[in-house]
Amino acid sequence: MKLPINYDKSHWTTRREARLQYISDQNNICIHCGSSLDRDPSEEVNKMKINKNLFPKGMFDYPIHLHHDRTTGMSIGAVHAKCNAVLWQYHGE
């Protein structure tokens, strides 16, 4: 499929397809922390405290997330769930 996609306007099946393609295009490496998406995030990310109240219930049910730009809605790449939370909580992304 053609990337990026508009995350906000896409059905969950399209989001899933995009996520899988990013994982493949990124050779299974998280674009935020650089660790394998099959494993835990980098130690630096792992150490960061996450305020779970900021996130919707179920946010951490899936280990790999499709990161997207919250202004444009466009997808950016595949990241660990924890990395996605760090991007939001600490970087406003």
Beta-bridge partner residues of 80: 64
> Which residue's CB is nearer to Zn ion, number 13 or number 55?
55
Please report how close the Cβ of residue 85 comes to Zn ion at its closest, in angstroms: 10
DSSP state of 75: E
Please report how close the Cβ of residue 81 comes to Zn ion at its closest, in angstroms: 9
> Which residue's CB is nearer to Zn ion, number 9 or number 37?
37
**d(C-alpha 82, C-alpha 10), whole Å:** 23
Residue nearest to Zn ion (CB): 30
> Which residue's CB is nearer to Zn ion, number 18 or number 35?
35
Beta-bridge partner residues of 8: none
Q: Which residues bind Zn ion (CB under 5 A)?
A: 30, 32-33, 41, 80, 83
Residue that has been written with the tokens 């900021």 in this structure = 54
**Side-chain half-sphere exposure of 88, counting CA atoms within 13 A:** 20
Please report how close the Cβ of residue 29 comes to Zn ion at its closest, in angstroms: 9
> Which residue's CB is nearer to Zn ion, number 11 or number 43?
43
Residue that has been written with the tokens 């996450």 in this structure = 50
